[in-house]
Amino acid sequence: QAQLVESGGDLVQPGGSLRLSCTASGFSSDYYAIGWFRQAPGKEREWVSCISSSGGFTNNADSVKGRFAISRDKAKNTIYLQMNSLKPEDTAIYYCAADAVWGHYCSDDAGTYDYWGQGTQVTVSL
């Protein structure tokens, strides 16, 4: 059974850092682009970042450019989201998702993703 599990969410002060992990099981994430999305209370889900199946292409939303970085470790079947200079507006539940697309491409459209994790809470507050 294909499964994605996020971890690493926590309470952190503004300006702090966190690293989220997304571990795949039941399938090889090597053949999937991986995206990170987030949803804050009362707001719609929004795309944050993505990485191609090859690992050679990444893309980030304008709201997190220069602060967040996505990477993947194929040996561990794990994708990471390094989040620096966190702001209160980054507070949300963060989800990772897998899209069965091969090559140097990843999508910012949630509708193209096949598998989703259960989410991990990130809270940025004093």
d(CA 42, CA 9): 19
pLDDT band for position 22 (cuts 50, 70, 90): very high
Q: What is the mean pLDDT of residues 56-69?
A: 97
Helix/strand number for the chain, H first, E second: 0, 11
40 in Cβ contact with 63 (< 8 Å): no
- Whether the pLDDT of residue 28 is over 90: the answer is no
- Whether the pLDDT of residue 102 is over 90: the answer is no
pLDDT of residue 1: 86
Q: What is the mean pLDDT of residues 14-42?
A: 95
